[in-house]
Structure 1
């Protein structure tokens, strides 16, 4: 490279930079970690490499990841939704009520999706319409939505869902490939295109970096944020349908603690908690990492509370890592 003149060297550097960015990017690092975890799990349990075991492993992350893709867009825009698990509980509860009224499978699915969108729109109205902080609003609606579920059901449960309804959470499209996993791939592709290949996605990044400047540039900030809250609600409704179908019952405590796992998945995927940056590819790989970790711990019969501790520690580490790295970089420059 030293024999090249400055202009040629500059062109060569430009050609190399996309490759360098790809190799040293956060998603590439996550991919290496996921491969390492996969290899580690094969040594920890002789049952891990079974086709059916790998298929079962996908159920540990697909429902949460479907919400995480929408949550990623919302966090990039500078907002957050902590009520996603409560939306799942309320959607599932209303589906259970409709089941008692004789609703069929297609009607139950539509009810679950509608309740999810309605909850998302409620959050969006409070945040966008009234200008309230999203973290405060969604902490409130987290208790509000789940509280309604407990009022309706108490310590009871709704059972007796139609046999056709079980397909969404328990069915297989081909051999060991579950319907949930196929839906996860379709949703991932849809959100990749939406965020990285459309003008709507570019506007989300602009809003996350500087909402005021975006507003003066003609971007409809409030409208886009409201749509994003509705999308998170819709994906929570989808997860409610899948989870209720997989469990075959409805309880008000359903999906408890999922909001932490969803946000951990998003932040681990490289989405800045401060907004303005991140990729769907990173969230996609982070979903597999979370699934591999939880399934590996399950094969070793490690209690669920250990998983909760690990997820909490992982979330703190991932949020703190760029801040610590930035301070170290500043000190080295100084």
Structure 2
């Protein structure tokens, strides 16, 4: 007598604990723990609380953009102009500073410039039905080109002392303003994506935009809002980065778009859209921060870090598919 064939139990029928343990986020947590232990063994300075606090500056600004970028990619779009938006926002802040603008105006101008750039991207994509990857490659050159026109080979320095609080200040002990802002934005975007109708609309659009439109979702409005959010978070990152560096150059944040996309995809967001989570992006940001800081403590050259980042991007695009195949098996 032959034994019955085992039946496959769908994930939705298994326990929440079982699903959590088999999730991509669980694998990321194990990876983060392994990297933390490896860094602690590799350098005697790693476990110093102030050094760990400094490590947070390697990912907080990029993670602010990654939260919005995650939602945009889940909806089936992408924005490759985020680093150039930072350059443009920082340049506008420096221009206003040279004219005597106070700190609150500089902050508003930085965020406002990001919102305007995001609205411009969103308008081109939704109104003219252009592919977002093509549009944002174009605006990537446009926004940074404007910064070079304004500044050339020069730089804006001498920002007011009050601005330094955003990028260099501490709320309590080793908890920097940027780290607290990172945690706050993580909570906000978690609620927005996973606990609101807007977030459900984002997933629906990413899975099937045509079906979402016929179900009554205002697809173009949601997409425009996502580009607006991504631009606004890029403007906020520009405020933090400019504050931390204390200067503005047109080359600021060069290459950040690659790191932000890597952070999002490493967090389990499908590059094809339709799936992903904010907790995954949070853990991915910590992993990338630990990797970067650990390599820095070991005096690894920047070009080697770039190579590692490129390999990581390729790996994280391939690994989710291999992970899904392994789970089905």
- TM over 0.5, yes or no? yes
Residue aligned with 2:58, SS:
coil
Distance 1:118 1:321 in 2: 36
1:267 aligns with 2:270: no
Distance 1:240 1:115 in 2: 10
Partner of 1:18: 16
Distance 1:307 1:219 in 2: 42
Residue by residue over 1:232-262, the C-alpha shift from the partner in whole angstroms, topping out at 9 and shown as x without a partner, is: 0000000000000000000000000000000
Residue by residue over 1:138-169, the C-alpha shift from the partner in whole angstroms, topping out at 9 and shown as x without a partner, is: 00100000000001101100011000100000
Tell me how far 1:321 sits from its aligned partner: 2.4
Distance 1:244 1:322 in 2: 35
Residue aligned with 2:269, SS:
coil
Distance 1:304 1:159 in 2: 25
Residue aligned with 2:249, SS:
coil
1:207-246 matched pairs, under 5 angstroms: 207-246=205-244
Tell me how far 1:324 sits from its aligned partner: 4.8
Distance 2:315 2:282 in 1: 19
Q: Is the 8 A contact 2:268 2:320 kept in 1?
A: no
Q: Evaluate the alpha carbon distance shift between residue 327 and residue 36 of structure 1 in structure 2; reply closer, same or farther with a 3 A threshold.
A: closer
Partner of 1:258: 256
1:30 aligns with 2:61: no
Tell me how far 1:228 sits from its aligned partner: 0.2
Partner of 1:51: 49
Distance 2:190 2:324 in 1: 28
Q: Evaluate the alpha carbon distance shift between residue 273 and residue 219 of structure 1 in structure 2; reply closer, same or farther with a 3 A threshold.
A: same
Distance 1:279 1:213 in 2: 22
Distance 2:142 2:207 in 1: 31
1:274-313 matched pairs, under 5 angstroms: 274-313=272-311
Unmatched segments (≥5 aa) in structure 1? 1-9
Residue aligned with 1:254, SS:
coil
Distance 1:221 1:266 in 2: 22
Distance 1:39 1:324 in 2: 26
Tell me how far 1:323 sits from its aligned partner: 3.9
Tell me how far 1:328 sits from its aligned partner: 7.9
Distance 2:119 2:256 in 1: 20
Match of 1:161 among 159, 162, 166: 159
Distance 1:207 1:222 in 2: 10
Partner of 1:118: 116
Q: Evaluate the alpha carbon distance shift between residue 213 and residue 96 of structure 1 in structure 2; reply closer, same or farther with a 3 A threshold.
A: same
Residue by residue over 1:48-105, the C-alpha shift from the partner in whole angstroms, topping out at 9 and shown as x without a partner, is: 0001100000000000000000000000000000000000000000000000111000
Tell me how far 1:329 sits from its aligned partner: 8.5
Tell me how far 1:18 sits from its aligned partner: 1.3
Tell me how far 1:327 sits from its aligned partner: 7.0
Residue by residue over 1:192-230, the C-alpha shift from the partner in whole angstroms, topping out at 9 and shown as x without a partner, is: 000000111011000000000000000000000000000
Unmatched segments (≥5 aa) in structure 2? 1-8
Residue by residue over 1:98-128, the C-alpha shift from the partner in whole angstroms, topping out at 9 and shown as x without a partner, is: 0011100000000000000000000000111
Tell me how far 1:320 sits from its aligned partner: 1.9
Match of 1:135 among 133, 140, 143: 133
Distance 1:177 1:217 in 2: 45
Tell me how far 1:322 sits from its aligned partner: 3.4
TM-score (norm 1): 0.93
TM-score (norm 2): 0.94
Match of 1:87 among 82, 85, 95: 85
Residue aligned with 1:173, SS:
strand
Residue aligned with 1:161, SS:
coil
